[in-house]
Amino acid sequence: MSPRTTGPETQARILSAAAECFSRKGYDATGVADLCATAGVSKGAFYHHFPSKQAVFLALLNQWLTVLDEQLLAATQQTSSAAEAMRRIAGMSRVVFQSASGQLPMFLEFWSQSAHDPTVWKNTIAPYHRYREYFSLLIETGVAEGSIRKADAASAGPALMALVIGVLLQGLMDPAGADWSSVMEQGVGLLVRGMQVEG
């Protein structure tokens, strides 16, 4: 007999079961009972760790974003300029497309449900705010180092964020429609060129 599972281990098993079920059956069609059966935990254990199916999805999303954040940090460390950091970020899109491939239906189902629940919706869009802030900080660095025009400081961050989101969304909706990683790299290149101080 295996020993009684510990808290963090149970939580990890529920998350891994959720990743499998949501991706295979869809978000709507997966119930808490399915998650418990796949993870091999009781409903009591489930609700000890998560208040709802939505909470499990948000925890999964955050787990995925934590990995992304680490890669983002690694990619932008020791860059020579803000422009270089932005190009490195654009170069990460291949990895993002790989890890998110086939997951769009699941995200759409979740977004669609959370759009009716203001609290969940707020948690859902929190990562977007965080990335927008991150991009804005990057732009501020560029202005401080003299490579990005000060006049564009306010609009450059949100524009970069919008371009990245627009490429990711289209790439997930329509994977065969273009070489999306190349669109990302060249599109960010154009935008960066547009915000740079001429020299």
Question: Which residue in 128, 134, 141 sits closest to 195, CA to CA?
Answer: 141
Considering the complex, state which of residue 91 and residue 187 has its C-beta at the smaller distance from its own copies: 187
What is the sign of the dihedral through the CA atoms of 8, 10, 15 and 20? positive
Q: CA 60 to CA 70: how far, in whole Å?
A: 16
Binding mask 25-54 for its own copies (x = CB under 8 A): -x-x--------------------------
Q: Point out which span in 14-22, 51-59, 92-100, 122-130 binds its own copies (CB under 8 A).
A: 122-130
Binding-site member from 24, 144, 177, 197 for its own copies (CB under 8 A): 177
Exposure string of 112-126, with b = 16+ CB inside 10 Å and e = fewer, is ebbeeeeebeebbee
Residues forming beta bridges with residue 148, ordered by sequence position: 196
Residue 15 binding its own copies, by CB under 8 A: no
Interface residues with its own copies (CB under 8 A) are 26, 28, 104-105, 108-109, 111-112, 115-116, 125, 128-129, 132, 152, 154-156, 158-159, 161-167, 169-170, 173-174, 177-178, 182-183, 186-187, 189-195, 198
